[in-house]
Structures are given as structure tokens and as C-alpha cells.
Amino acid sequence: MTTTVVQPPAPPTAPVAHPLAPRNLVAAAVSAYIPLVLAVALVALPLLWMLLSSFKTPSELITTDVRLFPSSLAPDNYVAAAEKVPFLRLFLNSTIVTVVGAAIKVALAICTAYALVFVRFPAKNLIFAGILATLMVPPQVSLLPNYLLVSGLGGADTYWGIILPGLGTGFGTFLLRQHFMTLPMSILEAAEIDGAGHWRRLVNIVVPISAPSIATVALVSIVFEWNDYLWPLVIVSNPEMMTLPVGLTLLVNSESGADAYGLLMAGSVAVIVPVLIVFTALQRYIIAGLTQGAVKD
């Protein structure tokens, strides 16, 4: 005689909500889109206000009746600012300081990171810890010692005096070291067997593979060098050697009251637009470079 076992009915499964269901859309908006929109607004609205204010007259800037858009898009403030400040000379100074300073920074970061990863020498980890310690020191702390050293060497009002103190970049060394540690060692070992030295391995293998990370370090260095204000303000007193951010102080000194606001807005736009264009065009390299090496197989 056989016994039939009756299985209890399976509990009903809950229906899976469709991705476009109202509940999912509301949850996505609250958790992701609304904070993203607020973050973008906090960054973009001041820039938009500065751009629109650069076309406003003093009566439109100093008023209790707040108006977003100017009555005219005539570049009067830009023309007046260009007449009071030598923007072409300031632009040339900023370009030289940015290109030379960023290039040397990137080269030093690449060589230092390569040595910390692929070259055997004693106290390697201790040296890397010292490099990381520099990231914890505010640049204002070293302002006075750098000024005494550079001015004592005759670097005041010179390009090399502006560039020299900022050449050490702990951030670039740290970022590239972390990326170099994720590179496949088999490729470098094969190149070493073929007789390639450190320099050839660096130039022909490591640098091409690490292009996104190197581009990230380059862009961060470019933005920092272009926008640097405090050190050029301290070491430069000759108006012919001022950079663009420092040159804006000439507008403050040349005008006073409400007339200076429109000129300052126009000058600020002239300072921000070039680096903003470069940053926007190459920002994908920053995302790729910062995420490379974050996850290891």
C-alpha cells in the first residue's frame, strides 16, 4: 500500500514592481535626482549670476529691485576692464606659469610614483608616508618660509619664483602610485627580460597604459596653477608679472564703490572661462583616472 504525500501549496510570491512604477520613480527622484539637482544648482547658479552681472550697469547691480537678466548684453564692463588692466599680459603670465608648472608637476609625480612601485630601495614605505604627510599640511603654513627662501634667492617678480614652491605634488604621486600598483607585472617583467631599462619601461609601457590617470593629475595641476592666488600675490609686486587672479586686485584698486562690481564680474569671467573650457572638455579623463585601480580583480 502506497502513501501519497500532499505537498502544501507554495506561498504566493509578491509581485515585482515595474521599474517605471510611480513608487520607484518617486524613490529614485528623492534619493538621487533631487540631491543631484541641488548640488548642480549650488555650483551653477553663482556662476550664472556672475556671468549675467558682468553685463549689468551699476544701477542694476546696486538696487533693491533684484533683476536676474541685464537690460543689455553690451560688453561695456569687459571693455572698461581691459582698459584698466593689461589682460593680455596677465593671460600670458598665467599661461606660462600654468603650462610650465603643471608639466613639471606631472613629470615629477610620474617619476616618483614609478620609483615607489617598481624600484627597490630601502625605506620606500617611510618615504611614501612622508609624501602623504605633506597632504595634511596647509599651504599657508609654508608661505613665510617659502617667501624668505625664494626672495633670498632673487626669485621675487620672476616666473621661476612663482612656479618653484608648488612643484611638489603629494596628490599626484599618491594617485599614480595607487594606479601603478594595479598594472600587470607580467608585461614589465617581459620587458625587463628583453633588456628594457627603467626609463624605457616607464616611457613605452607604464605611461601609455596609465594615460587616464596621468591626464587626471595634469588637469588637477592645471586648475590649481591657473587659480592659485595666495602665493603669486605674496611673491609678485610688479604688475607686469602678475597672473590673472592677482591682476583682479588691480581692478579693485582702480575703482571703488558700485562701479567696481561690474568690472570685477567681467574680470572674474575672463579668469574662469579658459580653465572651465579645458576642464569641461577633458573631465571624462578625471572620472576614468580616479576610478582606475579602485577595484582589483
Q: Is residue 55 very low, low, confident or very high in pLDDT (cuts 50, 70, 90)? A: confident
Whether 229 and 83 map to the same domain: the answer is yes
- In order, the DSSP letters of 228-275 are --HHHHHH---GGG--HHHHHHHHHHH--TTHHHHHHHHHHHHHHHHH
Residue 99 lies in a domain: yes
Whether 224 and 117 map to the same domain: the answer is yes
Whether 203 and 242 map to the same domain: the answer is yes
Question: Rounded distance, CA 234 to CA 44, Å?
Answer: 30
Residue 66 lies in a domain: no
pLDDT tens column, 104-123: 999 999 999 999 988 888 88
Whether 144 and 188 map to the same domain: the answer is yes
For the range 61-69, what are the long-range contacts, defined as Cβ-Cβ under 8 Å and sequence gap of 24 or more? 61/258, 61/261, 61/262, 62/258, 62/261
Residue 280 lies in a domain: yes
Question: Rounded distance, CA 94 to CA 247, Å?
Answer: 10
Residue 10 backbone class (left: φ over 0; alpha: ψ -120 to 50; beta: rest): beta
Whether 221 and 260 map to the same domain: the answer is yes
State residue 30's pLDDT score.
66
Q: Is residue 43 very low, low, confident or very high in pLDDT (cuts 50, 70, 90)? A: confident
Q: Which of 282, 294, 143 is nearest to 220 (CA)?
A: 282
Whether 263 and 167 map to the same domain: the answer is yes
When divided into structural domains, the chain yields a total of 2
Q: What is the mean pLDDT of the chain?
A: 81
Domain of 202 in residue numbering reads as 78-291
Compute the average pLDDT of residues 22-41: 72
Whether 124 and 41 map to the same domain: the answer is no
Q: Are 109 and 169 in contact (CB under 8 A)?
A: yes
Whether 194 and 263 map to the same domain: the answer is yes
pLDDT tens column, 186-237: 888 888 888 888 888 888 888 888 888 888 888 889 888 998 888 999 999 8
The proportion of the chain whose per-residue pLDDT surpasses 70, expressed as a percent, equals 82
Residue 216 lies in a domain: yes
Whether 142 and 241 map to the same domain: the answer is yes
Q: Strand, coil or helix: what is 40?
A: helix
Residue 60 lies in a domain: no
Residue 296 lies in a domain: no
Residue 58 lies in a domain: no
Coarse DSSP helix, strand, coil percentages of the chain, rounded to the nearest 5 percent: 70, 0, 30
